[in-house]
Amino acid sequence: MQVDFEDNLASYALKSSNTLGRHYKEESAQLRTEFQRDRERIIHSTAFRRLEYKTQVFVNHEGDMYRTRLTHTIEVAQIARAAARALKINEDLTEAISLAHDLGHTPFGHAGQDVLNKCMEDFGGFEHNIQSLRIIEKLENKYANFPGLNLCFETREGILKKCGKTRAKKLGYIANRFIEKKQSSLEAQLTNICDEIAYNNHDIQDGIKAKKIFIEQLENVPLFNDAMIKILKKYPKLKGSKLVNEIVRSIINLLVNNLIENSSFNIKNNNIESFEDVRNFSGLIIGFSKEIKKSNIELKKFLYANLYKHPDVEKMTNRANLIIEKLFSYYNEDISLLPKEYFDYNVNKINAGFKERVICDYIAGMTDRFAQQEYSKLSKSI
């Protein structure tokens, strides 16, 4: 069955039949490939469900109309899967990596990650990609025969977007490519770019809807302005949310097509014929052309300066910082505040750093709403 599903993949694609396997041995499924099983385990995980109530840009309670980590993740998976099909690389692996890439995100988005990293600076720090790996390897707790989700090596490795050498040595075999200076799979490379395509363009929609950025400002961004001219030429009377939607659709289409065309050129021009060729290549193979890459960077700079640094968004960020800092402090002073079912502890046997990591895991797993409720409860009782 696995061969049937993967017969038409390119020679440089990763195949389930060649997987390096799972940490804990399991019998193969009759009707699904190994990467399909990974995808489905991720979808059914607790961490995946929690993404529904975690911030993308706007805190979850700000309104139901805005994107959350869950909707963003689904959008990344859709874009990545379509591009993987065009490139004849493994769609199921690409989708599995896409669905798992944000599992480790904290409440309150990147603001939450930054402050949690600060809280953990003396205890190994915090990075959401590594936390995603920690979730799928250890923290998910629903199977009888193993901790975590017991995903394939290729899925787990694909989630690790970046990792320093010191951290890589601690992580072991899963992070060897960072020590050996090898490239990630094409499936992982594609996911990283599609993540960027999704959040840049959908943040435009949410930012305009929230009245934090405006079309008039975006006219100074070539990627947006070129798309707008094209759409208005076709639909002269179009305006409002429909105009924005068509512009964003046009930009995504342009970026994805360019990504596929340029990546296909890179594969052919550099004689990439096997996964080993991908592994040993001197740089990334999946990527935009120079011109589109430049235009995309300009869009990212605009969003950073005008949306992510908007006073109202900064206000939400400051609130998030306060909540997470205080929660960390409360739990650190009295770890018995953690639920007993979450951590079976003996205070006298807690090693330095272990307690802090447990607290970090607990806070990172919170939704925006729960973090705010917990902060409100503890700040009144302490």
pLDDT tens per residue across span 159-172: 999 888 888 999 99
Tell me what the pLDDT averaged over the chain comes to: 91
Which pLDDT belongs to residue 353? 74
Question: Of 296 and 344, which is predicted with more confidence?
Answer: 296
The confidence band for 14, taking pLDDT boundaries of 50, 70 and 90, is: very high
- Averaged over 327-337, what is the pLDDT? 93
Rounded Cα distance between 203 and 308, Å, is 9
Residue 68 bridge partners (DSSP): 55
**Whole-angstrom Cα distance, residue 74 to residue 72?**
5
60 pLDDT more than 50: no
pLDDT of residue 226: 97
What DSSP state is assigned to residue 160? -
pLDDT of residue 30: 81
The pLDDT of residue 372 is 93
Task: Give the pLDDT confidence of 245-260 residue by residue, as tens digits.
Answer: 999 999 999 999 999 9
pLDDT higher than threshold 80 for residue 57: no
CA distance linking residue 138 with residue 34, whole number of Å: 19
Q: What is the pLDDT of residue 65?
A: 57
> pLDDT higher for 219 or 57?
219
pLDDT at 129 over 70: yes
Q: How far apart are CA 217 and CA 177, in angstroms?
A: 42
Q: What is the pLDDT of residue 27?
A: 87
Mean pLDDT of 144-148: 93
Structure-token pair, residue 292:
């589109």
What's the CA gap between 218 and 299, in Å, rounded?
Answer: 9
pLDDT score of 343: 65
Q: pLDDT above 90 covers what percent of the chain?
A: 76
70-103 pLDDT per residue, tens: 999 999 999 999 999 999 999 999 999 999 999 9
Q: What would the two tokens of residue 344 be?
A: 């079976």
| The pLDDT of residue 165 | 87
CA distance 82 to 338: 42
Per-residue pLDDT at 195 exceeds 80 = yes
Band of the pLDDT at 357, cuts 50, 70, 90? very high
Residue 68 has pLDDT above 90, yes or no: no
- What is the fold of 2-215+248-291? Hypothetical protein af1432 (1.10.3210)
Question: What local confidence, expressed as pLDDT, does residue 61 receive?
Answer: 46
Q: How confident is the model at residue 349 (pLDDT cuts 50, 70, 90)?
A: low
Q: Which residue has the higher pLDDT, 49 or 54?
A: 49
What local confidence, expressed as pLDDT, does residue 313 receive?
A: 86
Residue extents of the structural domains in the chain: 2-215+248-291, 313-381
Q: Counting Cβ atoms within 10 Å, is residue 172 exposed (0-12), middle (13-18) or buried (19+)? A: exposed
